[in-house]
Amino acid sequence: MEISTLAMYHCLAFVWYFFVAYSITHVKTEERPSEVFLYGGQWKYLTVLNLVLQAVFYGVSFLADVLRLIKKLRCAKCIISSRDLLFSVLAFPVSTFVCISFWTLYSYNRELVYPKSLDGVIPFWLNHAMHTAVLPFALLEILVLPHRYPAKKKGLILLGFVAFLYISWVLWIYSVTGEWVYPLFALFSPPGLAAFFASSLAIIVAFYNFGEFLNRMIWGQSKFS
């Protein structure tokens, strides 16, 4: 794909994610079910954090495209490295995890992840923008542009560290409020919750490996030399 076309695509994707993140963080306070939006506001939900992550990623991608267009290749090389690291370690696996885990649990029992009371607060289109569209965007990014993945050990350490930070944030919120971020967590004993977190980490690692597989299957090795 031409650099100018890539720049336009990345710019539009950045604007889209910025708009969606803005929309969800500006839900009117008086309309929020009090049992859902407690300590930490929307910033305790992986879905919302992922929207910010995607906006940052596409912003960095657009910057890399612009630097290539204006022939600032030395600066572009550094930004491209950051872009590829961000996509491989976080943007792709987190988007895939958010979409698949949300709709799997929603199909089983929506009250565990997205209580029916939210239907009157969050519009239908915004729910799908947060939980559905993120996966097609991630797959499209692999299709339009090759990304250099880090060494497997480095990538998994970074991914594990970010997962540890989020789990720590979830546990901290519970220690302060006595309420779980997701009602699902209340169903588990402490060992069961630890096993759930471990299995979730294993799933997101699998999505990381899947993204790397797709990237190499589509683009091969030649694009990275």
Length of the chain: 225
Q: Is the pLDDT of residue 71 over 90?
A: no
User: What local confidence, expressed as pLDDT, does residue 54 receive?
Assistant: 97
167 vs 20: CA distance, rounded Å? 24
Residue 30: which pLDDT band, with cuts at 50, 70 and 90? low
Q: Is the pLDDT of residue 163 over 70?
A: yes
Residue 115 backbone dihedrals phi, psi, to 5 degrees: -55, 150
Section 95-115 average pLDDT: 94
Q: Are 24 and 122 in contact (CB under 8 A)?
A: yes
- Annotate 132-166 with b (16+ C-beta within 10 A) or e (fewer): ebbbebbeebbeebbbebbeeeebeebbeebbeeb
Helix (H, G, I), strand (E, B) or coil at 76: helix
End-to-end CA distance of the chain: 18
Q: Is the pLDDT of residue 97 over 70?
A: yes
68 vs 165: CA distance, rounded Å? 34
User: What local confidence, expressed as pLDDT, does residue 38 receive?
Assistant: 61
39 or 163, which is more confident: 163
Q: Is the pLDDT of residue 34 over 60?
A: no
Residue 177: which pLDDT band, with cuts at 50, 70 and 90? confident
Q: Is the pLDDT of residue 40 over 80?
A: no
Could you tell me what percent of the chain has a pLDDT over 70?
93
User: What local confidence, expressed as pLDDT, does residue 43 receive?
Assistant: 86
Section 209-217 average pLDDT: 95
Residue 74: which pLDDT band, with cuts at 50, 70 and 90? confident
Residue 224: which pLDDT band, with cuts at 50, 70 and 90? very low
136 vs 139: CA distance, rounded Å? 5
Q: Is the pLDDT of residue 162 over 50?
A: yes
31 or 64, which is more confident: 64
Look up the pTM and report it: 0.91
Q: What is the pLDDT of residues 112-130, one digit of tens each?
A: 888 888 888 889 999 999 9
Task: Please report, for the chain, the start and end positions of each structural domain, with discontinuous segments joined by +.
Answer: 3-27+38-219
